[in-house]
Amino acid sequence: MEQRISSYFIGLSFLLLFVFCSADSIQAQSKENQKIVVDTTAKVPWYGGTYVGIDLFGLGAKAFGGDFLSSEVSIRVNLKNMIYPALELGYGSTDTWSDNGIHYKSSAPYVRLGADFNTMFKKGDVSHVYVGLRYATSSMKYDVYTEPVDDPLWGDALTNPLLIDNIWGGDIPYDHRGQKATMHWFEIVGGIQAKIYRNFYMGWSMRLKYRISSSPDIYADPWYVPGFGQYDSSKIGITYSLIYKLPF
């Protein structure tokens, strides 16, 4: 389900990028025969505004049946319409079961820090396409355990699942709660920020995430890492944000 949702939003992002670029091209052609006067004395101010955004993709993915719930707030500062230092603070959680009956539960904050480059800086900051980098980290506690189930025939409690001890034989309990882990990763970011009304914008981004280091507990890896996704060496992520430009 998570992959289908991600594929849908990736396709939507590329469609919106195509529409945005096409509209910009049409506007440029309409002005082709007009005489353009460039004021070479004008200077772009060093500070161009601060943007605060709220990501809605994590909430939407959970609403459509995903295993993760996450949301984040982003702050981007416009410097010379070219460089946008960015800070992203979020919180993610999961409470789910694996196919073999193992219960995984975790919740923790995460932080990302980096900067974006506006590829359309010569056209101002109203709407633009950008690329960027992020360093990210999350420290979490997580529970991995099984719970007994009732026998529908005899009413007794049964071990769920039957984890077999390959050395001594028989089934063994699996209950490891309060484990701790820390993970560091970096992200390659590509996105769009488009103005919709006055100081309000919409933003889409696609992120290629690569694990730098991790320190899982001795009994089990963290199945889910807030801000990263399912535990792995690399992942693809998406954000969809509503953004407001502060009036100062």
Mean pLDDT of the chain: 81
DSSP codes of every residue in 167-215: TT-SEE--EEEEEEEEEEEEEEEEEEEEEEETTEEEEEEEEEEEEEEE-
Of 105-109, 143-147, 198-202, which gets the smallest average pLDDT?
Answer: 143-147
Nearest-angstrom CA–CA distance, 97 and 95: 7
Residue 57's alpha-carbon distances to 176, 191, 197, 233, in angstroms, are: 31, 14, 21, 22
Q: What is the pLDDT of residue 139?
A: 96
Q: What is the pLDDT of residue 227?
A: 95
Question: Quick one: average pLDDT of 117-133?
Answer: 91
Q: What is the pLDDT of residue 82?
A: 95
Nearest-angstrom CA–CA distance, 100 and 169: 19
SS3 66: coil
Of 45-54, 111-120, 159-168, which gets the smallest average pLDDT?
Answer: 159-168
What pLDDT digit, counting tens, does each position of 146-165 carry?
766 555 555 555 555 555 55
Residue 215 has pLDDT above 50, yes or no: yes
Nearest-angstrom CA–CA distance, 111 and 104: 22
Nearest-CA neighbor of 119 among 170, 190, 23?
Answer: 190
Q: What is the pLDDT of residue 169?
A: 55
- The answer to whether the CB of 87 falls within 8 A of the CB of 75 is yes
Residue 61 has pLDDT above 90, yes or no: no
**What domains does the chain contain, in order, with CATH numbers?**
2-245 (2.40.160.20)
More confident residue, 178 or 35: 178
Q: What is the pLDDT of residue 115?
A: 98
What pLDDT digit, counting tens, does each position of 167-203 carry?
665 555 677 888 999 999 999 999 999 999 999 999 9
